[in-house]
Structure formats: structure tokens, C-alpha cells
Structure 1
């Protein structure tokens, strides 16, 4: 039989019994059979398109403009953005390859592999985002020349003045820029949700495409995570079904109505 206990209590109990087992005070750790409760889903807030435009206009020319533009136009995770290297940029195909993350662990920046197989992916980027990356590269080259031997040659795209990751300062910079722009106070991770929200509102962008760009392990997960964003799509499907078996004389475009291209 398995029981559920509060997450914090389970962790403490599990550690205590593990120590007791090591001391020979108990035969086994019975907390192993206790199921941890599901954590409550976090509240997601997103920007409306006009808020995103306001923010981007306010940070024009900022050293991290390209990072925030990438976040809003691709939905990339914070660690994926920080882990990007110039070797990961394919200018000919206008896309970036996600091959590593830089995350904070125990107060230090650590380079890790992406969280799943689908997280390793190529993400097409729009022309203005590519142009911002190219401008960022030129600015970084000037900074690199000024730093001279003090520059850490890590090939990272988003760095401080010494060539190391900007990760430790990103949260502070994000809050400062967000508040200065006078837009809704969302989290950095909500830029990812903002991308998904705007993309889902575009009728030509499918759940499959959004899932691939976000690096989700399945389309089902994308639909579950952003179920509210696809409500309109489901309503359109119901409306379409009303005409699905109608006589061709009763509907002007019966084939187009069910999403099949003619010819």
C-alpha cells in the first residue's frame, strides 16, 4: 500500500530513515514506498503582442537585446539561451542548434546536456532575430579585443566583458529592463509561455510545430500544458464537423472546410 504525504515532510522523513538505515537502526527505508504528491502547477502569465513590442522597443541597443528577442521568437529555455555558442548558429539556414544548457547549481554555473532527446534540436529563427545576432557578434568582437588576454574563449554568444556566461546577472538585468519598460511583471520563463501563446493564436502554426520548437518530449505534453490555447482550434473543429458530411451544394467550399487542399 502506498500513501501520500506533504512533499517537504516526505523529504525529511526519507532522509532521516536513510540515515537510520545506515546506522543499523532500521532494516529498510519504508519511505521509499510513499508517493510524493504532485506539485501544483505554477501560474503562467504572458504578454500580449503589444506588450512584447513595447519591451523590445525599450531595450533596443541593449547588450542583451538579441537574447530577449530569441526568447520571444523561439520560446527557448533560459539555460538553452545561455548555452548557445557561435558554432551553434547556422546563418545560411537561419537557425540555431540547441546542444547544451548552462544552469545554476549550488550557486555556480554548470554546463549540462539538454533535458531530453527532443530538446536537442534546430530552431529556425526569423530574419530580424538573425540580424540582431549578427549585430551582437560585431559588438562582442569589439569587447573581446578590448579585453585582450583577459577574455575567456568559450565561444559563448551571451557573455560578460570577460567572455564568461552572463547567467549570474541575467535575472537582475531582466527585472531592471522589464520594469523600465512599464509592461506586465512576468517571470523570465514566461517569455517562453508568451511565445507559445502568440504562436498558438496564429492559425497557421500547429501544435506539432510549437512542440518541436519548444523541445517538448511529445505533442501531447504541449497540448496538455497549453490546453487553454488550443480551445479556439477545437471550437473550429466542431464548426468544421457540422459541414463535414453536408451535401456539396449546401456548402461553398466543402473540401477546404475540412482542411484538405484541392487539386
Structure 2
């Protein structure tokens, strides 16, 4: 078991190894309850430690700068959804038109696109549950534009079009490679002169902006699709310098001694 976790950590990441440990432990615990095995050997091996990255998502001004810079890009709508709704990369690429209701302004996240070695495939969401997210008005025009753009590509491709219901496809209708979405994100970020972050960090930024707007943690948890609220509170929020200064200003106001009259 230790050799397995070491190999997964080396080939993927310690976080993936920790998730593998959790899944195996859960599966073998179920097998023990059914008396299929006598003991759960995974419990004897500690889960790998994962060092949390220091998160530095964009602030509001940097986020709006990116949205201006990405306007007109072929994947503009995908980036809007990642920034405004906090969709994971695979979730954005796994969207189907049947998941989107532009009239009622709702979007249902049901699955995600993943790559395993040389194969792209559709999988369920990370926590195996679908979620319905109300669409902000800013997301509707880009999605309408994407539908028109895709229709034009379908006509241009003719018989070479690979028919699917995916919202984001290549010129021939094939599934977009997840890494290509990340590469486009980095290219636009660099051209706009913004601090370099991962596409996934836009998800962290979404949570931070929602908290700054006073949205309750439970609602943020549902929008981002977390299985536990602790994940929302401990990982996906970032306290800005401005918020810290504001907190200390309140402390100064409350505790400072009154000057003698």
C-alpha cells in the first residue's frame, strides 16, 4: 500500500494519492462490514500529507481586467463561467446545451471532461452530485454568442462535423482538450499583464468575491459544488489586505482609549 501511494504521488500528486487512500479505505471498510474480508489493511497506512498552496487569487480589479482581455476569444464563454460561477475546468467543458436554460437563466452541472492517459472521457462531478446554478445576466450573451458561433462551425465543417451536445467544441465538433483551455487562460493572462495564476485559482477568486459580497457560506458551498462546508471555509476563501485592514480599523475604533477631556 505504501509503495502504491508513493507511486501515485510521484506520477500524479500527493493530493491524488490522499484521495486514492480515502477511496480505498472506504471501499475496504464496506467490504469488512459485508464480511468479505477480515480487516482493512489501508487503515494501517497513514494518508499522505498534502501541503496546502498559498492561494493568491485576483482581486476584483484584476478579475475585471481579465474579463475585458478575454472578450472575443473563442473560449470566452467558458472563461466567463469559470470566473463568475467558479466552475471547474472539466465541468465547463462537460456542459451540454441540454444543461442550460437561457430563458430561465439556470445551468445544471452534471458531469465533467477528464483525460486519463490518451483518452478523454465524460465523468460525473467530483462529489458525484449534480447542482443547479442560477445564471447571472453577464453569462447569457456569451452563451448565446457561443451557440451561434458553434452553429457556424457546424455548417462550415459539413460532413466532417462530429455531432454532440457539448457547449464547447473544436472546429470539427470534438471535445475540447482540458489542457488547451488552461493554455489559453495563461496566454491571455500574460498578454493582459496580470499576475500568473492557475485557471483553477479563478474558482478560489469566485468564492472570495462571493464572501466579500456577503453571500452566506452555505450558498457559496452549493454554488461551487463542495461536499462539505469546511472545504469552502478553509480552502476556497482568501482574505485580502483590505479586509484585514478593515478588521483592524474596527478593533482600533472599539478598543482605543478615550482622550481625557
Q: Which residue of 2 aligns with 1:260?
A: none
Deviation at 1:41, TM superposition (A): 1.4
Query: What residue in structure 1 maps to residue 17 of structure 2?
Result: none
Q: How does 1:14-93 map to 2 (within 5 A)?
A: 33-93=44-104
1:167 aligns with one of 171, 174, 177: 177
1:74-153 matches, within 5 Å, as: 74-117=85-128, 119-153=129-163
Cα separation, 1, equivalents of 2:170 and 2:7: 41
Give the superposition deviation at 1:33: 2.1
**Contact 1:200–1:229 under 8 Å retained in 2:** no
**In terms of Rg, which structure is larger?**
1
Cα offset for 1:60?
Answer: 1.3
Q: Distance in 1 between matches of 2:184 and 2:225?
A: 26
TM-score (normalizing by structure 1): 0.74
Q: Distance between the aligned counterparts of 1:128 and 1:228, measured in 2?
A: 24
SS state at 1:45 partner = coil
Calculate the aligned-residue CA RMSD, in Å. 3.0
TM-score by length of 2: 0.74
Give secondary structure in 1 for the equivalent of 2:199.
coil
Structure 2 unaligned residues grouped into runs of 5+:
11-39, 255-261
Kindly state the Cα deviation for residue 171 of structure 1 after the two structures are TM-superposed: 2.3
Contact 1:10 1:36 survives alignment (8 Å) = no
Secondary structure of residue in 1 paired with 2:227: coil
Contact 1:86 1:156 (8 Å CA) reproduced: yes
Show structure 1 runs of 5+ residues with no match.
Answer: 13-28, 243-263
Q: What residue number does 1:198 align with? A: 209
Deviation at residue 228 of structure 1 after TM alignment: 5.2
Alignment match, 1:224: 234
